[in-house]
Amino acid sequence: MTAEMLSYLDASQEELKQLIRDLCAIPAPSHHEEKRVAFICDWLKKHGVEKVIVDEALNVCVPFGCDGSDDITVYMAHTDVVFPDTTPLPVVEQDGKLFAPGVGDDTANVVALMLCAKYLLKHIPREPVMLVFYGDHLPTMQMSDTSLLYATLGRVASNDSLSWSPEE
């Protein structure tokens, strides 16, 4: 990790904590991540991310330098929590630590990816990178009843994985 990256991480600590508080308070039971997805998309766009892809299953994909590339590094975190609550969830801070339903599974990682997106806007990676915020399913496979991540991004000809060629 470069000194510049470490400096960014250090300078982002308060924003990181506030984003965790904000995101943890938004209920997101499995298959009902709409409010969190809206928050994530709004935040990304507010910070200058122009290409935000949201599919019908509410997976959010943010590509950096992926156009025309077959070799993409993907970083992922899931947006749902296993709690069925649809009311705001409690967030408690004790001794500098945050406690809330889903904070460590996986809200803190969602926030880390959000801050990565902000960093990558100013420090375009040399290799293609995709940030994926997904619900409770495997985005590299089935994103919804009708789409796969790779087909949605145009990496393969169709959603029918059995018809993919070895090159795909």
99: alpha, beta or left, given left = phi > 0 and alpha = psi -120 to 50?
Answer: beta
Q: Which pair of tokens denotes residue 2?
A: 């470069």
82 pLDDT tier (thresholds 50, 70, 90): confident
Residue 140 in this model has a pLDDT that exceeds 70: no
To the nearest 5 percent, what fractions of the chain are helix, strand and coil? 35, 15, 45
Cα torsion 72, 76, 79, 81: sign = positive
Dist CA 98 CA 68 (whole Å): 41
**Residue 79: predicted pLDDT:** 92
Q: Which pair of tokens denotes residue 131?
A: 């940030």
Taking residues 103-115, what's their average pLDDT?
Answer: 92
SS3 34: helix
81 pLDDT tier (thresholds 50, 70, 90): confident
**Angle between the N-to-C axes of helices 13-24 and 108-122, in degrees from 0 to 180, rounded to the nearest 10:** 130
Chain-centre distance for alpha carbon 23: 12
> Residue 142 has what DSSP assignment?
B
**Residue 137: predicted pLDDT:** 46
Taking residues 30-35, what's their average pLDDT?
Answer: 88
Q: Which is more confidently placed, 109 or 164? A: 109
- On average, the pLDDT of the chain sits at 84
Answer whether 0.75 is exceeded by the pTM.
yes
Distances (CA, A) of 150 to 21, 56, 66, 79, 90: 32, 14, 12, 20, 36
SS3 157: coil
Taking residues 16-31, what's their average pLDDT?
Answer: 91
> Is residue 44 within 8 Å of 36, Cβ to Cβ?
no
Q: Which is more confidently placed, 153 or 142? A: 153
